[in-house]
Structure 1
Amino acid sequence: MTRPRPVGTPTRGTTNPNRLRRMDRWIAAVHGPALRRSDRPTAVDLGYGAAPWTTLELLRRLRTADPRCEVVGIEIAPERVAAARPYEREGLSFRHGGFELPVDGEPLLIRAANVLRQYEEDEVTAVWERLCGRLAPDGLLVEGTCDEIGRRHVWVALGPGGPRTVTFAARLGSLERPSDLAERLPKALIHRNVPGEPVHAFLRDFDRAWAAAAPYAPLSARQRWIRAVGELAADWPLTDDRRRWRQGEVTVNWAALAPSRG
């Protein structure tokens, strides 16, 4: 019997070690309780690229939240799966596939990093819906984009019912201003960073808060970031607190940044 053709197209395959560390640490911290509640905490690393380094790292970081976690790496390019197979171990496997997710059951986590940037904006919603439809009831899809060495990263977190939050994360010493993160907005938002769109207004306000927090810069970039994010909280529905802000993160309710219709 011929297997159905995987759904999707290959990515460029860039897989520098530690590229996704900011996303992984956020997942382990925020989604850890759900992993620990699960009878079988299974995660999917969708489109891991030309080498399996980030998939191995995901397993290691999730196991800091729950040692029972298992990870399945999925790639649409069969030669990438063949190259990854020697790295399989207990709790880690690799499979050929795409958005159809050739895994059994309902994963508790799907990570899709740097996968959708090559697609058109109007294709994103259908992919999100397809992937969210495979999640466990308390599962999470994390989809976003980062630079080649993981200094700047923006991702959307979605549950079975759709998008929930947007997280901005950075190595703070690399930022001149928060709007530098605009170039790493996920596909659903990157073309919406224009006047009249909520994400543009958010980044504008973030830059203003960052400028106002300049007196804290001599203390550290971290202290300046915490002060600026605290100012943002007066006008924007942030969903995290200083514990995450100290990590160079800020998470915003999706509804506040969702693209305007049209």
Structure 2
Amino acid sequence: MDNKTSSYILFDNGEHKCIVFTSLVKGEGIQANQFLIINDREGAVIDPGGDLTYSPLTFELLKYIPLNRIRYVFGSHQDPDIITSMPRWLMHTQASIVASKLWARFLPHLNSAFTSGKMTGNWEDRLIELPDEGMSVPIGQSELCCIPAHFLHSVGNFQFYDPISKVLFSGDLGASVVGDPQTPVTDMEAHLRSMRGFHQRYMCSNRILRYWVEMVREMDIDMIVPQHGAPFVGREPIEQFLDWLWHLECGVDLIEPRIYRCPKTRLAVA
């Protein structure tokens, strides 16, 4: 596929669509994928990003659905590249924000629009706080399953499973800074090597990874699509990815006590 394409259809059976948006960040900001689910003329946006992506993303969305038909904006966790554009979605659409109960109340700190009078109505009425065990949220005649992925890497982390397309939108789990978001992983050995450093630093522990792998192996999944980098498509690549996570030591498994010292390095001031 053409890498310059900003959006492409991941799944379309005539009634249900999954669209991926890529390469919307210009300049030095980290590239991230954003997602749109459409069913029965209703839409849901997953991990819409921040100010760097809001304008180009809404421009691309309008090719598929009017903004007034976006019913939900889902945030997997609180990173800036995930949902710092949330105040704009509240101001310019009627969408509800779906996020973990652990950090949903921190969202007003993202923008002064909440207190400047630019926000109409009570924004709290449009905030859906996910319990730790997750829930399913209806979209048209379908639903999006918010599944727990806590500590992978946020304390209140969720992933989103679409049972019609059988796509798991996995957030930062499976993310890589290499690989074309529009081209599935083919060289698994090389791709897993490229992911190792990020996953060892950002994911909490092997114990949590194994809980997640056990859950995912019971699900009917055809694709795992992360927020950064290439997707895993088909059972063989997915199983290879799950096997790799099962044995991966990361986070607190690797941290050393010597890190916890008052630093001796001093900033050099000109």
Q: TM-score, normalised by structure 1?
A: 0.35
Q: TM-score, normalised by structure 2?
A: 0.35
Greater percentage in helix: 1
